[in-house]
Structure 1
């Protein structure tokens, strides 16, 4: 593992009281409420999931610092922060804005993944019902400029903002939502070029623009023409489209094999470098009414991954590191996720395996660094 290979874990900030959702869910709701209500749906199903450290409020500095310490101790270089912006205002961003960014020495970097998807009411969802739409993820050109000005002014100057090859990393979660929102392909090209120019003009240097999905509508050449630097995935959930509605479990070994084949296919297909994601697991059953029968359809009604042992996860991390070493410029691996408990994808310790997934991650990173030869 060359010295400039880096690992970023996705951070999901929904473990605190958020005033903007209280109108729907009541004062004090957090997604810990869904976790506490989880029930096993089949023999051996790990529910309820129990966090070893407790149902912590992430807005408290001591809790955030503990997360940073655990992550950096496992070899994670940065939190790739799910960052939400709806109707012209922050949503779920208080743990970043008020807590992480004010830590004296977090010991870990951070970057933004603009989570520009629609926000719907699945707290929990009901099988057979269409979830209420709270906010649209797309923004028009004027709002994109206003939003990215805030990104440039508020986040990029922070000393812990993550830079890869000295470029500030910024992920657009859904590329098609961005393109359609700002007014089409040409408008999107102009918007991203302008974003880069405004960052440069503010003294922030160059950007690294990454996307994790929604780019299937465009050719590899078009994606490059838009000004995107790298492509990747949020995790391995693109596989669920092929799973029958009655297949409520999915084996981690098959999930991993399919994902790794996808990495290599995407590397061949794209003109841009591919950033592999490693998924720890998946179980979004806590986002579903616990009295409803489980079915497989669109999110959050996805299969539950089984046999996602720490050992298998560590092997997947090693494979991703090996894969990314062939990239000429961008040697980054992303992990889904640090704390996505309501999707069963988290590295924080739980009552089932303790900190074994963190230790497996650390071992994979340490082994890669010990055995690698830095590129010439």
Structure 2
């Protein structure tokens, strides 16, 4: 069982951070500026010997690599930032590591594919580095700092070609010979099926048997195309247990979260259960932050042991651990002045003791097989589908509020004559918008044809479809299956309503 620690490269100066958060801003800025917000609140956190390092210093990465080897951390999963049109940020530590072949630090990437924005931006899925450090004098329309867009094959190829030298490095972590690549918010990518298939093709052309994609925070259509999912913790579980204290900080009990994690049912898709050291994001969020209380090195050692046993029972070979150096969120293995090396010492302890606990977790899997799994997964799918469409509708309404219409995308793409696949809730709203434009809707495709009362011809999915400029799929939750069906019938231009909404945003 290998332990891979999530790794933040935000410990060096970059021009954008100077502009957006203040001159000289790095993760250390938030750490040094933090204050205790309630009784026994452990802030500020101070690295051992006040080692406020710079990741562009080679000696820093050598020290980290030696520490990892000493305490049996098998590698890192470094956050990778790639935005619209190939814009990058915080890429230098990874590029330096690629050059510094003498540093024995196994690594892989986690693509943090979120738009960077101000805290007041109405974008739902965004990364706000530090609410309390926003430069108020810098005026940015709509609050977007770095926009996340996914583009077309040309953009995907450019991204892959950048990654390829890293994949080819002997230190890059692979699963069955395939480069391991996490996508932090895989469910945000409407074109994920096409993009991953394209990357798999390029990987084979480069001499690999493929690329091993792990979708963190994954649900909906993305689950059908990734190789595995990751339950990233504590983010997945902490929202369920937030309790606001008198000073607005949310407090959650450490053991409560861990018990929730260890009682997770095994899904059908290969899924990694994530671990975490602790959590306190008040250095970044102030009184709007969340603190997981009751954390100790001894509790961490115990729960990591249990989680390794559970992952083994699930057939997993990796544990993704949050984190090596997320100091601004209180998730770090690196030594500090309070606990020194105690959290690192938990790693060899867990590795030594987890195997004798595996049998109990295998028994738990067996015991739950009497549960009606079909009904459970039916409910789970309905929940995922509801969340998927609610988020999509939210994005669509924000466009309408800004007087941006989806038909503008169709007109610019030259799609003047379309078919619509699916006349459910999203399909009906989309049809109404299109009928108010100059674009012609030649037909609808829907398996519930007999229940529809439309003035437009309706075809069943297995019937031969007339040629149009494009078919817009409004049943976006099942987009991957629908694309496969239509492609077999020879349909060329198929586009998801989700893609149109994302591209208009």
Query: What TM-score, normalized by structure 1, do the two folds share?
Result: 0.83
Pairing partner for 2:130 from 124, 129, 148: 124
User: Could you give the per-residue CA deviations for residues 43-94 of structure 1, whole angstroms, max 9, x where no partner exists?
Assistant: 1111111011510001111101111111122111110011111232221111
> Does structure 2 retain, via aligned residues, the 8 Å contact 1:34–1:123?
no
**Residues 208, 31 of structure 1: CA spacing in aligned structure 2 closer, same or farther, 3 A cutoff?**
same
**Residues 104, 370 of structure 1: CA spacing in aligned structure 2 closer, same or farther, 3 A cutoff?**
farther
Residues 27-46 of structure 1 aligned to structure 2 (within 5 Å):
27-46=23-42
Partner of 2:204: helix, strand, or coil? helix
Q: In the alignment, is residue 111 of structure 1 matched against residue 108 of structure 2?
A: yes
* Distance in 2 (alpha carbons) for counterparts of 1:259 and 1:279: 11
Pairing partner for 1:92 from 80, 83, 90: 90
Residues 155-234 of structure 1 aligned to structure 2 (within 5 Å):
155-179=166-190, 182=191, 188-213=192-217, 215-216=218-219, 218=220, 222-226=221-225, 228-234=226-232
Q: Which moved more, 1:20-29 or 1:33-42?
A: 20-29
Q: Show the counterpart of 1:144.
A: 156
Q: Show the counterpart of 2:311.
A: 324
Greater RCO, 1 or 2 (C-alpha within 8 Å, sep 6+): 1
Partner of 2:46: helix, strand, or coil? coil
Higher relative helix content: 2
Pairing partner for 2:261 from 252, 256, 259: 259
Q: Show the counterpart of 2:295.
A: 308
Q: Show the counterpart of 1:298.
A: none
User: Could you give the per-residue CA deviations for residues 217-269 of structure 1, whole angstroms, max 9, x where no partner exists?
Assistant: x1xxx44532x1111122122233332444622111111111222xx32x23x
How many residues align? The count is: 337
Q: Show the counterpart of 1:344.
A: 330
Q: Show the counterpart of 1:285.
A: 282
* Distance in 2 (alpha carbons) for counterparts of 1:273 and 1:123: 31
User: Could you give the per-residue CA deviations for residues 176-196 of structure 1, whole angstroms, max 9, x where no partner exists?
Assistant: 2222xx3xxxxx322211101
> Does structure 1 retain, via aligned residues, the 8 Å contact 2:277–2:322?
yes
Name structure 1 gaps, 5 residues minimum.
183-187, 296-300
1:199 Cα deviation after fit: 1.0
> Does structure 1 retain, via aligned residues, the 8 Å contact 2:111–2:184?
yes
1:12 Cα deviation after fit: 0.5
Q: Show the counterpart of 2:234.
A: 236
Partner of 1:195: helix, strand, or coil? helix
Q: CA RMSD in A?
A: 2.4
Name structure 2 gaps, 5 residues minimum.
119-127, 360-505
Query: What TM-score, normalized by structure 2, do the two folds share?
Result: 0.63
1:102 Cα deviation after fit: 2.5
